[in-house]
Structure 1
Amino acid sequence: MDSLDDLFARLREATAPAEIEALQDGIWQLWLTTAHPLLDKRLENGIRALAADDYTLAIHEFTFLTEAMPEYAEGWNKRATAHFLRGEYKASLRDVQETLRREPRHFGALSGWATMLRTLGDARGELRVLRRLEQLCPAWPGLQQQLRNLRDRLDEQAE
């Protein structure tokens, strides 16, 4: 099995959407395991709760993960998602920051952060985050178009 570093190195060079998707899937497989059966079960419970729109239970499960294993980035990321879906952007942004402190290459957290900044109307912040995502994978599907649109919007605002 490839290491996380190997997968990220290949992701940086990947250009074909199918290859990018396969590499992302490989990275997610590594991120979605704690290597502790009880904690994996809590993660699974939280993911199921998210899918069922039970954000309170999801936050409870992911909080258990962040307290039991604070260095595990995905617990923070999943809780950020639950907070975001519940409309709690400040809590979500805090958890995104914790995720990125533990795994600066977390493209899911970066993508979510960019979405939140777009929702909050912070185009300059969104551009900064999307540039970080671009460093991880310049050929990320749709990213270059997003960056062009955002730069155009910012240029129009500057005029």
Structure 2
Amino acid sequence: MRFFASLLTLILSLATYPLSAQEAARPKAPSKDEAPASRPAPKPVTLDDLFDRLAKAGSEREAEGIANLIERRFSRSGSDTADLLLSRATEAFTEKDYPLAIELLDRVLALQPNWAEAWYRRATVFYQIDDPVGAMADLHRALKIEPRHFNAWTGLGHIFMASDDKASALEAYRRVLKINPQETSVQTIVTRLLPNVDGQDL
């Protein structure tokens, strides 16, 4: 009898045990309204990251893909108006309407004077209309803003080659290869130039 009396006392005490304490003793099931713990957002890829990957690329194909990503970044100024004008200048250049391309690029540079890509694009137009002095000046402006602009270094190398300044051309092409070692067309030019420069102190 004492056993059953003790058991009854235990049952009654459990029945009156605080509900919150009973819930705390049980594992809590996740609520349907509770969102699962979110993973931290991936770190955005910076231009520095892309250049680091370009320098370490293991093949020409890999390097080409990374270079394309860099060129896309170069082509964005942060201004919708400037980006639109650059797009129209590119269309004019494609259609060989060089005066219009220069006019549009002048307007772009008035809006975004620190945009290396715009200086590079205008240099390309100047080169097409046989103005190497204007082209070289714009390429230097582009490289002052973005020293890793491999297309600007390539353009500079071509202008030096056209003026028969092979030592300066070699230096420009070497700068390209320092940024993008997998650029085979530039590697070929450098290989051909080396015997002509004869190991001059550049």
Same fold (TM over 0.5): yes
Q: Does 1:143 align with 2:186?
A: yes
Aligned residues: 157
Give the counterpart of 1:30 among 62, 73, 88: 73
Query: Equivalent residue for 1:3?
Result: 46
Q: Is the helix fraction higher in 1 or 2?
A: 1
- Structure 1 residue 84 displacement after superposition: 0.5
CA distance in 1, matches of 2:58, 2:169: 23
- Structure 1 residue 120 displacement after superposition: 1.1
CA distance in 2, matches of 1:54, 1:90: 20
Give the counterpart of 2:135 among 92, 97, 100: 92
Q: Any stretches of 5+ residues in structure 2 without a counterpart?
A: 1-43
Greater RCO (Cα-Cα under 8 Å, separation 6 or more): 1
Q: Does 1:101 align with 2:173?
A: no
Q: C-alpha offsets along residues 45-100 of structure 1, whole Å, 9 cap, x if unaligned?
A: 10001111111111111111111111111110100000001110000000000000
Query: Equivalent residue for 2:154?
Result: 111
CA distance in 2, matches of 1:146, 1:15: 21
- Could you say which structure has the larger radius of gyration? 2
CA distance in 2, matches of 1:139, 1:31: 20
Q: Any stretches of 5+ residues in structure 1 without a counterpart?
A: none
What letter matches 2:101 in structure 1? A
Query: Equivalent residue for 1:124?
Result: 167
Query: Equivalent residue for 1:73?
Result: 116
Query: Equivalent residue for 1:44?
Result: 87
TM-score if structure 2 supplies the norm length?
A: 0.74
CA distance in 2, matches of 1:47, 1:89: 19
- Structure 1 residue 124 displacement after superposition: 0.6
- Structure 1 residue 152 displacement after superposition: 1.4
- Structure 1 residue 141 displacement after superposition: 1.8
Q: C-alpha offsets along residues 100-152 of structure 1, whole Å, 9 cap, x if unaligned?
A: 00000001101111111111111011011111112112221223222111011
Question: Helix, strand or coil: the match of 2:184?
Answer: coil
CA distance in 2, matches of 1:4, 1:132: 18
